[in-house]
Structure 1
Amino acid sequence: MEVPSQVPLPQSAKPHLLFLVHRIPFPPNKGDKVRSYHLLKFLAQHYQVHLGTFVDYADDWQYVPALDEFCASVCAERISPRLARVLSLRGLLGGEALSLPFYRNRRMANWVRDTVGAHRIERAVVFSSPMAQYIDGGIAGHCVVDFVDVDSAKWTRYAEDRSGLMAWLYRREGLRLAAFEREVAQRVAASVLVSEAEAALFKSVAPEAVSRTHAIGNGVNADSFSPQHDFTSPYATGERPVVFTGAMDYWPNIDAVCYFADEVWPAVLARYPDARFHIVGMNPSEAVRALAARPGINVTGTVPDVRPWLRHAHAVVAPLRVARGVQNKILEAMAMGRPVVASATCAVGISARQGEELFVADATPEWVEAVSSLLADTARAEQAGQLARQRVLSDYSWEAHLQQFRQLIEGERKPLVGSVGAASVGQGHMNERSNDC
């Protein structure tokens, strides 16, 4: 896990900016939080940032004070995922996407309204589409929304793997969320996606906003994720470790490791009995924990630092079948100088030469062959890892990517009129939750 750099508190001369994020952007220990953390750190260099965010895991409350290093003010609202899922069903009555009432909160809306008014804020950045419900009035025309991925397409894809009521519910969420994404894109200054492929897909969802849709990719802290660090190997002597990293309560990650364990790993293990598949990540679901009972599979749960697990792996795999955007887990492994085998879905948007800097597999036989070949030929694996790191160094600088956000924020703006907050959220659907605002 990265630690926050010593960024000084914003000076009064810097303009104020509202930053809304659906999940606390610290610590940067999972995909969306890596991007939102680096975006927050960058914005703090140029603006007095007023951060509104939600805390969905109790352990993350300890990190709220760390946000003061970057922010002029913080509103951190508690959200219980289990309760929020129940409350989100109100969306069925109102005909809206369930993701919106999931993140709907009266105190957050009031804080946004009051903060914008008190500081006469004219700039806003929204991270994740549901947070755009808090943006209203004139500030919307000065707002940059980082959708990251096309979430509506994700829900539609989930429906393909479900049946009955859940399939219907996921398809409905895809349709309703697409309508909301389109409405947001039409009223904000700019929409941002994590890759050119996601941007192209978003343009089909919101064709009216094509000229204001942009791709800004992820980056990697290549000093932190570097093979130059002297990490002790977490693996047993003599084994051939293959590793997957990610938050293991996230359904696409669960689906990925279960597929790999069911379809790919038995054939790899038959060829290389000393191979071992390590599933490294926080909050493993029951289905993931059960995989540890199988031959050659280890489920770690939370680890203090994922980098040793990457650095000493013979191969890193990303067999996601349901994925949107650029996967940080791939870029981090490449930065660590490791050979990566990824599904075609994950490889889209990564500027790496396939077969040299990144290996791509889709069908099960392709997966078996790709992983087996890296375990068999360590010299080839090492060379691929070195090339992968060079690709990260040349193409994936956070600073270069995030400068594009500032260009969008400081683009042509109109005079500020109207208000922000409560009107767009819908007072009739608010729920009270505890907060630290």
Structure 2
Amino acid sequence: MKILQLAPRFPFPLDDGGKIVVANTFREFVQQGVSTILFSLNSETELPKTAIQEAEKIGKNVIFNYNTKNTIGKIARSVFTNKAIYLQKYWNKNILEAVDTLILNDKPDILQAEHTCMTPICLYFREKYNIPFGIRLHNIEHKIWEKYAEEMKNPFAKIYLKQQTKLLKKREIELIEQANISFAITQEEKKEIDRLTNNVNVHVASVGVELDKWTPSDFSYRNKNQLVFATTFHWIHNTNALLWFLKNVLPIVYEKNNQVKMMIIGKNAPKWIENYANIGANSLGYLSDIRGVVRQSAIYVAPLFVGAGIRIKILEAMAMGMPVVATSVSAAGINATENDGLFITDDKEKYAEIILELMNNAEKCENAGIRARQFVEKKFSWKENVKKMILQYEEILKNK
């Protein structure tokens, strides 16, 4: 079996959740004996050579330079054509020609769309060459747009986002119904897809953690007063999550413990983080390997209020034997509780209270971290989840 995997971003280096899912799926396909080609779009001016080399070590990959960033022109076009910009901006003649050449040369048996936005391309080539395709639903995308529209304060932007949400929801449901198969990240999202669609072939194939990479450190090595948060700031909701935490939670923690340190990791971090340096906020910028800072920290925080799928960074922190304090949105799909080292609250006072309790009780903090590692070891395996996808594709080809 040969799979052509289509991704909206080149997934290396592995510095955010979406890229981690695409890259590890690519790696596992190859390791499990599936001939796989990764085709991905690149909006960056220049990719790090080490990132390209990392992809080439796994298998064949094709990087197509194409700017997917939203511009005034793209927004205006979406208004005049009455189409969802999230899908429309990936529909491009040059992309189609590049994929067509790949298909003619490599003759894949299956196409896999990473994210809904790559699905129209797969649908086009199924109609042209009768190649079955699956969708890796990292999120139910219109749900994210829906929440974004709700929170938008600008009245003109709010009107636009509501219109876009409506268009995206309609088309996203149609695309899922037209796919040969779809893979949801969580059981909750599978149930939502079942509710929204009619008689679709949808399965859960969750994510995983590289357990031999994300290993715990000795608890005595950690700074009991140090928090850590790692993210990518190109997504506005991550920026808003950090701002909420710095404005509403960190001041409460600092008032009770002025030794607190908040280590913030991520590319293009906002300048305003400096305004919170007096209460312990430290912006470290982009780190190619975050494990050193994470191992020095005692608690990982995840304060997201908009999102879907599973937060990979939470799982990686748990794999490193670290308790995590998260909002309900951040924790969605993991299905862990305080007994598994994942503490969940959306209340700022409670959030601070949990952090302070873990800081002040070393034994509780260490035991929570041990349980977190054990939970991830049992529940999140890349090998098993990608195997589910391979078996389903084999079944589709058998019945083709």
Report how far residue 225 of structure 1 moved.
Answer: 0.4
Residue identity matched to 2:232: A
Q: Note if 1:222 corresponds to 2:208.
A: no
Q: What is the letter of the counterpart of residue 102 of structure 1?
A: K
CA–CA distance in structure 2, aligned partners of residues 407 and 184 of structure 1: 22
Match of 1:180 in 2: 171
Kindly indicate which of the two structures has a greater share of residues assigned to helix.
2
C-alpha distance in 1, partners of 2:79/2:159?
A: 12
In the alignment, the residues of structure 2 paired with residue 291 and residue 218 of structure 1 have an alpha-carbon distance, to the nearest angstrom, of 36
Show the counterpart of 2:9.
23
Q: Which residue of 2 aligns with 1:298?
A: 282
**Who is 2:193 aligned against?**
202
Return the match for 1:60 from 43, 47, 51: 47
Structure 2 CA distance for partners of 1:414 and 1:134, relative to 1, 3 Å: farther
CA drift of 1:413 comes to 3.5
**Could you say what secondary structure the match of 1:37 adopts?**
helix
Q: Secondary structure at the match of 1:152?
A: helix
Change (3 A) 1:186 1:140: farther
Ranges of 4+ aligned residues in structure 1 off by more than 6 Å: 229-233
CA contact (8 A) 2:217 2:295 kept: no
Q: Deviations over 1:5-36 (max 9, x none)?
A: xxxxxxxxxx3321100110212111101000
Which protein, 1 or 2, shows the higher relative CO under an 8 Å CA cutoff with sep ≥ 6? 1
Cα distance change on mapping 1:17 and 1:55 into 2, 3 Å: same
- Secondary structure (helix, strand or coil) at the match of 2:112 reads strand
Q: 1:356 to 1:221 in 2, by over 3 A?
A: closer
The one-character-per-residue Cα deviations of 1:27-60 (angstroms, maximum 9, x if unpaired) are 2111101000001111223333232211123342
Aligned counterparts of 1:326 and 1:73: Cα–Cα separation in 2: 26
Give the aligned partner of residue 57 of structure 2: 69
Aligned residue for 2:267, secondary structure, equals coil
How far the C-alpha of 1:61 sits from its partner, in A, is 5.2
2:348 to 364, 388, 397: 364
Deviation at 1:386, TM superposition (A): 0.4
Structure 2: how far apart are the matches of 1:199 and 1:391?
22
SS of equivalent residue, structure 2 residue 269: coil
* Matching residue of 1:161: 151
CA distance in structure 2 between the partners assigned to 1:187 and 1:231 by the alignment: 54
| Uncovered stretches (5+) of structure 1, i.e. residues with no partner | 1-14, 417-437
Q: How does 1:5-404 map to 2 (within 5 A)?
A: 15-45=1-31, 46-60=33-47, 62=49, 63-72=51-60, 74-79=62-67, 81=69, 83=71, 86-135=73-122, 136=124, 137-138=126-127, 142-163=132-153, 164-205=155-196, 207-210=197-200, 212-228=201-217, 240-287=225-272, 289-404=273-388
Instruction: Give the whole-Å Cα distance in 1 for the aligned partners of 2:132 and 2:210.
Output: 29
| Aligned-partner Cα distance in 1 for 2:172–2:45 | 30
Q: Which runs of 5+ in 2 are unaligned?
A: none
Q: CA 1:80–1:113 in 2, change beyond 3 Å: closer, same or farther?
A: closer
Q: Which amino acid aligns with 2:193?
A: F
Give the Cα–Cα distance (whole angstroms) in 2 for the partners of residues 191 and 173 of structure 1. Answer: 23
User: Per-residue deviation at 1:82?
Assistant: 5.3
Asked if 2 retains the 8 angstrom alpha-carbon contact of 1:325 and 1:346, the reply is no
Q: CA deviation at 1:134?
A: 1.0
How far 1:352 sits from its partner (Å)?
2.1
C-alpha distance in 1, partners of 2:199/2:65? Answer: 31
Report if the CA contact (8 A) 1:186-1:208 is conserved: yes
SS at 2:39 equivalent: strand
Compared CA separation, residues 364 and 290, structure 1 to 2 (3 A): same
Give, in whole Å, the separation in 2 of the partners of 1:183 and 1:101.
Answer: 15
User: In 2 relative to 1, CA 218–73 (structure 1 residues): closer, same or farther, beyond 3 Å?
Assistant: closer
Native 8 Å contact 1:144 1:408 kept in 2: no
Aligned length: 394
